[in-house]
Amino acid sequence: MTKTTANLADGREIVYFDQAGSDPRISLDLRPLQTGATPSTVRRDPATGAWVTIAAHRQARTHQPPPDRCPLCPTRPGRLSEIPCADYQVAVFENRFPALAAAPAAGSAGPDQGFTGPPSLRSQRPGVGRCEVVCFTPDHGSSFADLTPARARLVLDAWTDRTAALSALPGVAQVYCFENRGAEVGVTLAHPHGQIYAFPFVTPRTARMVEQAGRHRSATGRNLFEDLLAAERADGVRVVLAGAHWTAFVPFAARWPYEVHLYPHRRVPDLTALGEPERAELPVIYLELLRRFDRLFADRERGEARSPTPYISGWHQAPTAGGGELALHLELFTIRRTAGKLKYLAGVESGMDAFVNDVSPERAAERLREVAS
């Protein structure tokens, strides 16, 4: 892998990742962009203890532009984009409209003037962290599932590099690499891409997993995630796909109609700890999973694919400190519950975080096995 770093017109960093032997064609960013700090804050919910990011400036971010104005395509004559080169393989750059940034605006988390209650009710601080965009391919009309194993491996190498770099930044508590695909899940740019968030706090879902792992350790003396993976592999009814180093399964208490968790057989805390055998096998396993998701709702009688399956896919990694019990794993799910129907969160789900699944995990796993390549 070749890694090349440059800067965009407003000072943001862009990093190009190319397969060994490739020469990135990098040009200067000629756009008239102004530098500026990000006016975001993180506020602690006193009722739950969860941190919430307030980033009102993101209302102005680019929303569903036409293909000829896509900011993630390579730069062309007369069309300057976020990627100032004629071609690229994988490109990672700081988000132009980040929820979190290294340089917060002055006074972005100043004191709550006039508040006389307990300080614990008004805990806030600048939204310091980092948000990056990961472009998987210059091909606007493709998707991650269309990548070759070699290109998917390059994306994995980019995720790993950025996890190491962002985890080392002061104040970063957790790094989350993820992809949202489809307008149905709120994607604002159709070009195949993902994101990376370097949070200044441990996210609520991760905090709950770490807490549960601690309880399991106290009760059994064993690691929760090792036991969970061993149980699913032994049972087998919810296993979707297994290799020599990875197993994908539908979780016993899946929240979403089609939800798959992918674990390495060897417990590691994050992407940087994967060994070469695990890294070599992952692209093949992951691409097969994504392609099965796209075949889930195809018209089997006509042999036609319906609209691409919307999904969210993210790597759950241990916090940079104090999360040694958590195991690296990927969680992939779609909000589509059947052809032409989406899983909208009901009141008990949005309001109480109490999920009701319309598809049994066992049937979901069976269906995902049926659509194998």
- 266, with CB counted inside 10 A (0-12, 13-18, 19+), is middle
pTM, to two decimals: 0.95
pLDDT of residue 18: 95
Residue 251's contacts (CB-CB under 8 Å, 6 or more residues apart) are: 232, 238, 259, 261, 361
* Dist CA 184 CA 307 (whole Å): 11
Distance separating alpha carbons of residues 94 and 132, to the nearest angstrom: 4
Degrees, nearest 5: CA angle 166-62-108: 55
Tokens (6 digits) for 36: 């500026």
Q: Given CATH 3.30.70.360, say whether it is the number of domain 2-107+124-201.
A: no
Q: Is the dihedral of CA 261, 354, 226, 229 positive or negative?
A: negative
Whole-number Cα distances in Å, 209 to 149, 186, 204:
31, 26, 9
Please tell me the predicted confidence (pLDDT) of residue 37: 75
Measure the CA–CA gap between 324 and 267, rounded to whole angstroms. 10
Report the mean per-residue pLDDT for the chain.
93
Residue in 315, 320, 344 with CA at minimum distance from that of residue 173: 320
Radius of gyration, alpha carbons of the chain: 21
The upper half-sphere exposure of residue 337, i.e. CA atoms within 13 Å in the direction of its Cβ, equals 15
> Structure tokens of 373?
């390549």
Confirm whether 2-107+124-201 and 205-370 share one CATH topology.
yes
Residue with tokens 């390549």: 373
pLDDT at 46: 95
Residue with tokens 């900011």: 71
pLDDT value of position 49: 95
Q: What is the pLDDT of residue 171?
A: 94
Give the residue extent of every domain in the chain.
Answer: 2-107+124-201, 205-370
pLDDT at 236: 98
Say which CATH architecture domain 205-370 belongs to.
2-Layer Sandwich (3.30)
Bridge-based pairing state of the strands 246-249 and 41-44: unpaired
CA distances to 153, 204, 260, 355 from 255, rounded to whole Å, are: 29, 16, 10, 6
In this structure, what token pair is assigned to residue 40? Answer: 């975001």
* Active-site residue (options: 57, 140, 193, 329): 193
Which parts of the chain have pLDDT scores under 70?
24, 104-113, 299-306
245 is catalytic: no
* The pLDDT value given to residue 38: 76
Q: Which two tokens stand for residue 311?
A: 């999904």
CA distance 191 to 67: 8
What pLDDT is attached to residue 229?
A: 98
